[in-house]
Amino acid sequence: MYPPKFDYYRAHSVDEALSLLQQHGDNAKLLAGGHSLIPLMKTRLAQPAVLIDIGRIDALKGIHVDGDTLRIGPLTTHADIAASEDVQQRAAALADAAGVVGDIQVRNRGTIGGNLAHADPASDLPATVLALGGEIDVQGPNGARTVAADDFFQGLFTTALEADEIITAIRIPTGGGTRVSAYVKFPHPASGYAVVGVAVALELDGQTITSARVAANGAFECAKRLSGAEEALSGSTASEETIAAAAQRAGEGFTVDDFMSDIFASSEYRAHLLAVYTRRALQKALDRA
């Protein structure tokens, strides 16, 4: 199916993009890699009258190390993130997730900013940024602000990003060399989306897990932290027993109705997968210690 007609503008700066958003209001959508928006337009689930292409704003691209923080431009592609030595060494879970997004075409065109803004519940990056304690810098007509990942993902395809705002950076704390992290998922065999995916980030002091952040996607309407697993890990010795106990508590605080359900995987099956993949993600992370 072909999308309805629309006007196309190419923005050359963030300020120009913001000006165009204000000018066209609710009729406008931002276009970055296009792997989320274009399919919606082809099926006419989205029918913007105006597309504002921000894909060539160089200031929104690239990966930079700033002390104990990784600063990633929102137009940085999944392929570039997965291949980055800085990301692999400082935020391995993010490299894991970026490397399994879609297929090679999607990874070479899709962007981290577009992925987070779209907030597909089965996407790989939201839970990873959440587990890593990331922050999202956004800019709008009222100025710039920073939103913690804990507050960014609010529901099904819903975020704290306002319609007239643009993501300008994703910042990931690196843990100062004491953190290990990992991401694993059970992919849908047709789409590659996560039926359930789990990201973990552990701070270690020798064999002691001093703090833990664990998050999941695919299981719920949006990326969510798994507080039961985090409590089981924090202050515990890294061991098979600790991993097993944390996995058993992965679904704590959720009812079966909280889990997504579809023709491929029921809510009960997703709840089972959540425990399995929490265990696998923890083992993968600790193997990196």
Q: Are residues 213 and 258 in the same domain?
A: yes
Q: Are residues 187 and 273 in the same domain?
A: yes
CA–CA gap between residue 98 and residue 81 (Å, rounded): 6
Q: Are residues 239 and 275 in the same domain?
A: yes
Q: Are residues 48 and 125 in the same domain?
A: no
For residue 88, give its domain range.
58-173
Task: Tell me the angle at which helices 267-287 and 240-248 cross, rounded to the nearest 10 degrees.
Answer: 150
Note whether 73 and 60 are within 8 A (CB). Answer: yes
Of 156, 173, 190, which residue constitutes the final position of a domain?
173
CA–CA gap between residue 119 and residue 185 (Å, rounded): 17
Residue 1 forms part of a structural domain: no
CA–CA gap between residue 115 and residue 53 (Å, rounded): 15
The CATH code of the domain that includes 124 is 3.30.465.10
Of 138, 173, 208, which residue constitutes the final position of a domain?
173
- Number of compact structural domains in the chain: 3
Q: Are residues 194 and 255 in the same domain?
A: yes
CA–CA gap between residue 153 and residue 134 (Å, rounded): 12
Q: Are residues 34 and 134 in the same domain?
A: no
Site of tokens 């089972």: 272
Note whether 114 and 216 are within 8 A (CB). Answer: no
Pairing, β 63-66 against β 153-155: unpaired
Q: Are residues 206 and 229 in the same domain?
A: yes
Residue type present at position 133: G
Q: Are residues 67 and 13 in the same domain?
A: no
Please enumerate in sequence order all residues whose Cβ is within 8 A of that of 48, keeping only pairs 6 or more positions apart, or say none.
Answer: 6, 27, 28, 29, 41
The CATH code of the domain that includes 225 is 3.30.390.50
Residue 2 forms part of a structural domain: no
Residue 75 forms part of a structural domain: yes
Residue 82 forms part of a structural domain: yes
CA–CA gap between residue 74 and residue 129 (Å, rounded): 13
Under DSSP, the state recorded for 210 is E
CA–CA gap between residue 145 and residue 186 (Å, rounded): 35
Answer whether 0.85 is exceeded by the pTM.
Answer: yes
CA–CA gap between residue 53 and residue 32 (Å, rounded): 6
Counting runs of H as helices and runs of E as strands, what totals does the chain give? 12, 14
Residue 185 forms part of a structural domain: yes
Site of tokens 């959540």: 274
CA–CA gap between residue 228 and residue 225 (Å, rounded): 9
Residue type present at position 155: G
Q: What is the pLDDT along the chain (289 residues), one digit of tens a residue?
A: 788 899 999 999 999 999 999 999 889 999 998 878 888 888 888 899 999 999 999 999 999 999 999 999 999 999 999 999 999 999 999 999 999 999 899 999 999 999 999 999 999 999 999 999 999 999 999 999 999 999 999 999 999 999 999 999 999 999 877 899 999 999 999 999 999 999 999 999 999 999 999 999 999 999 999 999 999 999 999 999 999 999 999 999 999 999 999 999 999 999 999 999 999 999 999 999 9
